[in-house]
């Protein structure tokens, strides 16, 4: 055995930081981590379509699997470990109560196709959550089935198009600010619309004049994120809403940033026609390393009839789940169906538990604290970093990379140095309207102590950057399970799965 030149150990491990091979490199035929009784002998009724070859799955025992994934988990950063100021992502605390309740008997074990008489509590839960969402947004209806924010966007834009078609209109353009999240234009395109970008003004908001100039009878609507992705409230939002309505279009609101205003501003009061709510952001259902989420869409009176199937209504014998548009209790105008079954029930349970825990007062306080934390970051960092815009921000603080000018250090380098310090970096290079953007969203679940440590560290790093220590930044991170990874190489010759013969880099073991 040779000593690993990187770690100095024979194993390549570093104390508690343990290298881990792929499950495929650990498997042995015949071994399993699940004991099942021998199947009773029966005459096979597969109609001859039986699998012939082996699948190639590795065989591991339970102890190996538990160890494998425990080790892997320790190679991740997480909210449970520290500050995770990813702007636009609302990485807040995920209460364990909600995990417990989502798994409760009578919820986690409900089949989606049980008869209505056996799921009244489930429908009540969906209905209760719908009530909270409507009350908090000041909107009359909500479509519960979308699986995430982007899916909610589809739902909203489809509803808009269905409403327009119902009016007999075929409009072809959707206006989308340049600062918008990528899902906005992608959604518009996925609904058959041309995307017409609107520039930002020098205050980081929609350029009202440019917007108005784009209006016309072929404009289906506008998609606006508010607070926007620069962390700013669109202060001309009422004018924008009036203008789009006057032009016969609809106002889609991207609710990804709802956390800043929940309990303080109701989108319904802003003239919104539809807005998705990322339950996995504002209402704290866990991000899970990428999903699942849930993206209910609140709808105005104008769009409500077009909501997709299914939905819950109050019937005379209890709650009913309307799954067909020709049902006598249906609107008859549903634009279709977006998803198998009825929506992300597991996320509904978590979100409702979160809302009930905070209550009306707590949600309002949470929004206020989120905004306070972001402004505290902004105020504390504004002299060392370069704020992208003037004035108070909402729930996230946006900086550009002017403070790194002439240092030879990029936003990316700066972010990687933060990793060594024990912080997850902020969102980088987004929104696109700002050069080398650093978008920091601390959320309300960070303590002042934690923020102060973050602030001191970022300031110290900024000073170090300005002092000319570029090499240290370009080398970072140095203290992580892996250092910078070759993304270009990965894309050039993609290795997307393990194969017995796959090239193994310098094997980790």
Partner 1 sequence: MRYLPLTEADRRAMLAKIGVPSIDSLYRDVPERVRLKQPVDLPPHQGEIEVERAILGMARKNLGTGRAPSFLGAGAYRHHVPASVDHLIQRGEFLTSYTPYQPEVSQGTLQALFEFQTQVALITGMEVANASMYDGATACAEAVMMAGRVTRRTRAVLSGGLHPHYRAVTATHARFLGFELDLAEPDPDGAEDLAARIDANTSCVVVQNPGFFGHVRDWTKLGEAARAAGALLIVVVTEPVSLGLVASPGEMGADIVAAEGQGIGNALSFGGPYVGLFATREKYVRQMPGRLAGETVDAYGRRGWVLTLSTREQHIRREKATSNICTNSGLCALAFTIHLALLGEAGFTRLAELNHAKAVQLAERIAAIGKAEIVSDSFFNEFALRLPKPAAEVVEALAERGILGGVPVSRFYPDKPELATLLLVTATETNSDDDMARLAAALREIL
Ligand X SMILES: Cc1ncc(COP(=O)(O)O)c(C=O)c1O
Chain residues in the site for a copy of itself (CB under 8 A): 1, 3, 7-11, 13-19, 26, 35, 61-64, 66-67, 70-71, 74-82, 92-93, 95-96, 357, 419-423, 445-447, 449-450, 453, 456-457, 459-461, 477-481, 509
Q: Nearer to ligand X by C-beta: 94 or 380?
A: 94
Q: Of 322, 282, 330, 277, which is closest to residue 306 (Cα–Cα)?
A: 330
Of 141, 220, 232, 437, the one binding partner 1 by CB under 8 A: 232
Site stretch for ligand X (CB under 6 A), options 24-32, 111-119, 142-150, 236-244: 142-150
Contact letters for ligand X, residues 248-267 (x by CB under 6 A): ------x-x-----------
Q: How far apart are CA 228 and CA 450, in angstroms?
A: 26
Among partner 1, ligand X, a copy of itself, none, what does residue 1 contact (CB within 5–8 Å per kind)?
a copy of itself
Residue 480 binds partner 1 (CB under 8 A): yes
d(CA 192, CA 149): 19
Query: Footprint of ligand X on residues 292-321 (CB under 6 A)?
Result: 293, 295
Interface residue with ligand X, options 12, 149, 227, 268 (CB under 6 A): 149
Among 148, 154, 303, 309, interactor with ligand X by CB under 6 A: 148
Under 8 Å between Cβ of 338 and 151: yes
Helix (H, G, I), strand (E, B) or coil at 223: strand
Beta carbon of residue 78, minimum distance to a copy of itself (angstroms, whole number): 8
Q: Could you say whether residue 483 binds partner 1 (CB under 8 A)?
A: yes
Which one of partner 1, a copy of itself, ligand X, none interacts with residue 461, CB within 5 to 8 A by kind?
a copy of itself
Helix axes 448-466, 345-381, angle to 10 degrees: 50
Give the bridge partners for 299, in sequence order.
Answer: 141, 274
- Asked whether 249 and 171 are in contact (CB, 8 A), the reply is yes
Distances (CA, A) of 110 to 12, 106, 345: 46, 6, 10
Instruction: Quote the CA–CA distance of 279 and 347 in Å, as a whole number.
Output: 7
Q: Identify whether the C-beta of residue 379 lies closer than 8 Å to the C-beta of residue 400.
A: no
Pairing of strands 219-225, 250-254: parallel
Helix (H, G, I), strand (E, B) or coil at 111: coil
The region of 57-65, 299-307, 403-411, 461-469 touching partner 1 under the rule CB under 8 A is 57-65
229 binds, among partner 1, ligand X, a copy of itself, none (CB under 5 to 8 A by kind): ligand X
The secondary structure element, H or E, covering residue 351 is helix 345-381
Helix/strand/coil for 366: helix
Interaction of residue 425 with partner 1, rule CB under 8 A: yes
Classify residue 455 as left (phi > 0), alpha (psi -120 to 50) or beta: alpha
Q: Which among partner 1, ligand X, a copy of itself, none contacts residue 460 (Cβ within 5 to 8 A by kind)?
A: a copy of itself
Stretch near ligand X under the rule CB under 6 A, chosen from 56-64, 148-156, 165-173, 305-313: 148-156
Helix (H, G, I), strand (E, B) or coil at 419: helix
Q: Which partner from the list ligand X, a copy of itself, partner 1, none does 114 bind, CB cut-off 5 to 8 Å by kind?
A: partner 1
Which residues contribute to the site for ligand X (CB under 6 A)?
Answer: 88-89, 148-150, 181, 183, 225, 229, 254, 256, 278, 293, 295
């Amino acid at each position: 055995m040779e000593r690993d030149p990187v770690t100095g150990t024979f194993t390549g491990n570093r104390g508690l930081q343990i290298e881990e091979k792929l499950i495929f490199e650990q498997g042995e035929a015949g071994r399993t981590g699940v004991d099942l009784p021998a199947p009773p002998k029966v005459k096979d009724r597969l109609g001859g379509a039986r699998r012939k070859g082996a699948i190639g799955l590795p065989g591991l025992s339970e102890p190996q699997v538990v160890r494998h994934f425990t080790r892997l988990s320790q190679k991740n950063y997480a909210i449970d470990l520290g500050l995770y100021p990813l702007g636009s992502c609302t990485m807040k605390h995920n209460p364990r109560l909600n995990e417990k309740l989502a798994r409760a008997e009578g919820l986690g074990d409900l089949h989606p196709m049980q008869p209505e008489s056996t799921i009244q509590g489930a429908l009540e839960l969906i209905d209760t959550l719908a009530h909270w969402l409507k009350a908090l947004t000041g909107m009359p209806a909500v479509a519960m089935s979308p699986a995430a924010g982007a899916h909610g966007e589809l739902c909203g834009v489809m509803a808009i198009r269905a409403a327009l078609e119902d009016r007999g209109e075929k409009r072809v353009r959707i206006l989308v600010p340049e600062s918008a999240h990528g899902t906005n234009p992608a959604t518009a395109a996925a609904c058959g619309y041309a995307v017409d970008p609107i520039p930002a003004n020098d205050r980081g908001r929609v350029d009202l004049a440019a917007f108005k100039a784009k209006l016309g009878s072929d404009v289906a609507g506008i998609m606006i994120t508010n607070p926007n992705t620069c962390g700013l409230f669109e202060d001309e939002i009422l004018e924008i809403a009036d203008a789009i309505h006057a032009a016969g279009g609809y106002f889609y609101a991207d609710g990804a940033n709802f956390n800043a205003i929940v309990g303080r501003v109701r989108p319904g009061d802003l003239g919104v026609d539809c807005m998705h709510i990322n339950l996995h952001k504002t209402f704290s259902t866990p991000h899970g390393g990428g999903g699942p989420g849930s993206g209910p869409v609140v709808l105005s009176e104008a769009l409500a009839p077009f909501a997709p199937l299914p939905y819950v209504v109050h019937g005379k014998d209890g709650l009913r789940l309307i799954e067909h548009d020709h049902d006598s209790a249906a609107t008859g105008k549903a634009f279709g169906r977006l998803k198998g079954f009825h929506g992300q029930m597991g996320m509904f349970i978590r979100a409702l538990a979160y809302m009930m825990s905070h209550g009306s007062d707590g949600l309002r306080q949470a929004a206020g604290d989120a905004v306070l934390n972001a402004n505290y970051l902004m105020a504390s960092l504004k002299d060392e970093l370069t704020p992208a815009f003037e004035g108070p921000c909402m729930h996230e603080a946006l900086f550009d990379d002017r403070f790194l000018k002439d240092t030879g250090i990029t936003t990316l380098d700066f972010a990687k140095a933060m990793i060594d310090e024990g912080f997850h970096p902020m969102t980088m290079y987004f929104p696109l309207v700002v050069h080398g953007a650093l978008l920091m969203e601390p959320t309300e679940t960070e303590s002042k102590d934690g923020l102060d440590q973050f602030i001191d560290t970022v300031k110290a790093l900024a000073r170090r950057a300005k002092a000319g220590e570029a090499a240290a930044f370009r080398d970072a991170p140095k203290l992580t399970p892996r250092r910078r990874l070759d993304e270009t190489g990965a894309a050039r010759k993609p290795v997307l799965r393990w194969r017995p013969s796959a090239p193994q880099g310098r094997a980790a073991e």
